[in-house]
Structure 1
């Protein structure tokens, strides 16, 4: 039975139990303790006193005071502490002195065996006294009658013995004094306070256990239950209160063989559900150490893992690149940087056009970093990297139960995650038609509806889209919605391919080589700045410039990475040679380190595609008359856009063409 709750500030409840003249002493000193205890004197004994204590329920005493056989009986039959009244040496001496005045033959009767200290006291003072003891109320009567038959004149003993002796016609002296009763009351107060402190501690621990999300059980050294919370009791389908004191494996035999044998974790199945069971030590200062077992449902562990991953994922939605990371000295890249700065001040949707590898996402991130949304999420998703069904749930999210396998509680889509930030839709031309209409509504209404829901959620986002395809051709082919195109193509940035800006090749190569060197400890000291990187690449300028770079900056980065690996190996070999032979001639720099030398032959080995089929490549790069015409038209349109500060309406009016024709000619340029 659990301990009933109580007010810790309430006075401790103390019951003084007696059916003899001891009760009179209780009344005599009760007034001394009314301020410190809620004192009750109970005129019952033995089994009647047990029933009285058990019957009151929540009003049960904190401590019981009793003497003699009555106290010994209660001590083994009630669950509350029982303080036994013990006579002092002064009590014995004083009582025997009084008894000697009443009769020549005196007997001292005690409950249980006569204490050794009493025997030593009597022997030391040469007192002529008969010693006797009793174990129960029935035994007490027999002892008293036997003493009478032996000619005893006066009997000294507890209340029951004194009453029986008086009834038998002998002189009776009560053994206890007020001092011994006060000592018992003081002890009872200390026990009550300690019991209450322990009760408060246990109730707090029990309250903690009951509020834990996991099932918890504490076991003693023999595997018996000391405490169990309701969560685990419900899992095991048992009564937690009745489980105390019983072996856990008797209560739940299905757990046999699946619990951890030592401190650590294990998996088990309870009533069809999987749990992670952790075993830990339960330390105890006054008994053998026990064990604590915690049962955590595996689905809760998985949910927590998903939650942590989701939080980490949200924290990863940030822009890494800034405008300074866009490298290039050509006029076309200067125009790109100018547009990025200009468009960053606007919230209008931007369409970024450019071949693969030209840095479309870098431009989008730079624009986000310069905008007022820079403190919020930059969420990027490649529309061509997901199947249609998965792309829909990733973008728009879903409600719980929207489809088989939907996460409990639902999931916010990336559009919602980008709230107050920027949503970057890469490869927008790859988006399925069925999702284009839903995206169009997001752009028009600035609200999103999750899968399985009918309630729209307002979002504040800026959309930046990118593609390497000519969207006008996709519109004509029926694979892209014209209305979505016009919603996306409010502001536009066209990134030139690397082959059209040869002046940017060397600055880009130098920057990429420095980045690669920072990741390679063997190159950090060899390439401390751009000047050192430029000297390393000096022998490779011609083949790099004559290559058309169909993969643009991404392909250049790959080639530079190969150069860095080769350079690191050359440096390692040079250092080894220098250590082996200090007299070896070497081309050394100012600090004595060997300068790495990369030749065309080395480049041919690590990047053969740069030298492959030069004639075919030259033929491929030669423009036809129609392609040159489109290129000239595109340059004229870009110049007009720059002159009109990007005002498409003004450009169309000046050139006498429609908006569709404007962007079709731009996208059609070789």
Structure 2
């Protein structure tokens, strides 16, 4: 019978299963728990009780309350917690006292061995009692018949035993009291709440397991599946719902020889895909009680690695310049701007040609900021600024222990740092030949091998190289690889020297002066804008335009810095200009040099020769015309000096 019929109630479902006297006691007490649990009294025992539980389906009880033999039977045959009613010492004492009133010879019959405390209790109070026990219904019948044969007048025991005793003509006293049944119900409620809480916890863990992107399986100490998520079950082609309790080796025989024997990582090929498998301990009771295996698809690991590397950028790997920073309006500079915008749409390698100081890195940064790679790293390295061994480790990185002094854990090279971004190789003509061949492989295969490693790392980079040298001459001399040159010279941009941009000299000078004024508080009020900067420099415009500028924009910037310092220290009105006399003091080489400039465009070789000639003239001017001193400072002979100043 059902005391509470709340279907799908959040209250625990408790089934009290018993027959005879125990059933009647359940009915009397169950109503007391109607507000706390959904209690159902089921007049079934043993096999009939098992069938009733299995037929309940989703309405199965959370916990079962039953008497001794019935409870012991159910515990071994159903997967529902069973609380067996345990009579208290007071119950036994009262029952024995009542039995003594009904007969001279009394027997206490219990399911299983009689507890020692009951025997000690009877001995302490001088109660003459025969102790008997049984394990099954057949045992109970034989036990009762044997007691009758011995002349026992009264029997104390559970319901089934007392029924047998009465049918055998003996007095019978029911050992269970209302207090012991209430205690069993209270214990059942505690068990039900704990079971539900554990069920909720396991459900949450299972939900977490199912939402993991990796495949996960937990095994017990014997290699049987305790839990597996759907992702891994799908890969293995098994049913996750029916996998629990099955040996993993039986479910997936192909894994038996591939899984790692010890904790750690290994690469496993499974159904045409590669997985990184990590084995770790499944802790329980303070020790390893099993194993947890996680399966990560290698392609996902590679994607994650690329994402992490692309985000690990530091400030020095950021492009600062943009195309608007390229000052000038002459046709050659407009052509450069057009090429930068066009090449920014491509991922092809670019070779930037131009003398030192013409702004090659500014052009490279501008191209990067206009490209689809703008959100990733811009990594610049000067190939002529490092010794060969240091340049190799900086470019390609190294593994731990690759050489003496190698950083613990190794180090990623600049090529890896440029992943998904732009790698700018300045002064590529200075790169040593051995490194040229390694760089060629990077350009061909788009993978890099660290020093001390044999495993290549895939990189997604756009390469921009720059040089002030004629690389074709290096090929002829054997100092530069022809195959590397053709790999680099896919797209090219030639930057004109400043001497061929005479119309841009003054706009550049004014912009540089304005930038210097922004850094110098004493000059800020005097040069507040570009118009003021142009006005200040107007008196020295002619010598600035006439000078050959062998150092190009970098040299112009140096001269403007000197002018800014002189202006900051000079006293006068806010509109005072910078005079020719002041220019003679801060930049005498501009006045001393009066060489006529060649009109029209020059070839790269002609530009290189003119640069050398201009540098020699500047040194001669610094040495006051002393050729011996100039040759010593330049490290050349007088014959070389004459040849450089008078090219054929």
- TM-score normalised per structure 2: 0.56
How far off its partner does 1:613 sit? 3.9
Question: Any idea what SS the aligned residue of 1:500 has?
Answer: coil
How far off its partner does 1:56 sit? 1.4
Query: Is the counterpart of residue 207 in structure 1 residue 234 in structure 2?
Result: no
What is the 5 A alignment of 1:80-229?
80-229=80-229
Give the match for residue 269 of structure 1: 269
Question: Any idea what SS the aligned residue of 1:289 has?
Answer: strand
Deviations 1:544-567 (A, max 9, x none): x9xx996989x99xxx9xxxxxxx
Q: Give the 3 Å change call, closer, same or farther, for CA 36–203 of structure 1 in structure 2.
A: same
Give the match for residue 509 of structure 2: none
Aligned equivalents of 1:611, 1:280: Cα separation in 2: 76
What is the 5 A alignment of 1:554-573?
none
How far off its partner does 1:266 sit? 0.4
Q: Give the 3 Å change call, closer, same or farther, for CA 237–102 of structure 1 in structure 2.
A: same
How far off its partner does 1:363 sit? 5.6
Deviations 1:449-472 (A, max 9, x none): xxxxxxxxxxxxxxxx983289xx
Aligned equivalents of 2:341, 2:285: Cα separation in 1: 70
Question: Any idea what SS the aligned residue of 2:169 has?
Answer: coil
Give the match for residue 78 of structure 1: 78
Give the match for residue 548 of structure 2: 500
Question: Any idea what SS the aligned residue of 1:131 has?
Answer: strand
Give the match for residue 493 of structure 2: 467
Question: Any idea what SS the aligned residue of 2:274 has?
Answer: strand
How far off its partner does 1:599 sit? 9.8
Contact 1:356-1:551 at 8 Å conserved across structures? no
Aligned equivalents of 1:600, 1:26: Cα separation in 2: 118
Structure 2 unmatched runs, 5+: 1-6, 345-351, 379-420, 429-442, 447-457, 468-490, 497-543, 560-587, 596-601, 616-628
What is the 5 A alignment of 1:2-401?
10-285=10-285, 288-309=288-309, 318-321=318-321, 355=354, 357=356, 358-362=358-362
Structure 1 unmatched runs, 5+: 1-6, 327-332, 386-390, 395-406, 415-423, 428-464, 471-495, 512-537, 561-597, 623-670
How far off its partner does 1:359 sit? 1.1
Query: Is the counterpart of residue 619 in structure 1 residue 646 in structure 2?
Result: yes
Aligned equivalents of 1:262, 1:351: Cα separation in 2: 53
Contact 1:380-1:425 at 8 Å conserved across structures? no
Aligned equivalents of 1:498, 1:63: Cα separation in 2: 102
Aligned equivalents of 2:264, 2:630: Cα separation in 1: 60
Q: Give the 3 Å change call, closer, same or farther, for CA 380–181 of structure 1 in structure 2.
A: closer
- TM-score normalised per structure 1: 0.54
Aligned equivalents of 2:313, 2:279: Cα separation in 1: 32
Give the match for residue 649 of structure 1: none
Q: Give the 3 Å change call, closer, same or farther, for CA 350–236 of structure 1 in structure 2.
A: closer
Q: Give the 3 Å change call, closer, same or farther, for CA 359–507 of structure 1 in structure 2.
A: closer
How far off its partner does 1:304 sit? 2.6
How far off its partner does 1:305 sit? 2.9
Contact 1:214-1:297 at 8 Å conserved across structures? yes
Deviations 1:71-103 (A, max 9, x none): 000011111111010010000000011111111
Q: Give the 3 Å change call, closer, same or farther, for CA 615–86 of structure 1 in structure 2.
A: same
Question: Any idea what SS the aligned residue of 1:121 has?
Answer: helix
Contact 1:155-1:165 at 8 Å conserved across structures? yes
Deviations 1:290-312 (A, max 9, x none): 21100111122223334445556
Mean Cα deviation higher: 360-369 or 68-77:
360-369
Aligned equivalents of 2:140, 2:172: Cα separation in 1: 14
Q: Give the 3 Å change call, closer, same or farther, for CA 97–363 of structure 1 in structure 2.
A: same
Question: Any idea what SS the aligned residue of 2:646 has?
Answer: helix
Q: Give the 3 Å change call, closer, same or farther, for CA 142–359 of structure 1 in structure 2.
A: same
Q: Give the 3 Å change call, closer, same or farther, for CA 143–171 of structure 1 in structure 2.
A: same
Q: How many residues align?
A: 431
Aligned equivalents of 1:413, 1:194: Cα separation in 2: 58
Q: Give the 3 Å change call, closer, same or farther, for CA 375–105 of structure 1 in structure 2.
A: closer
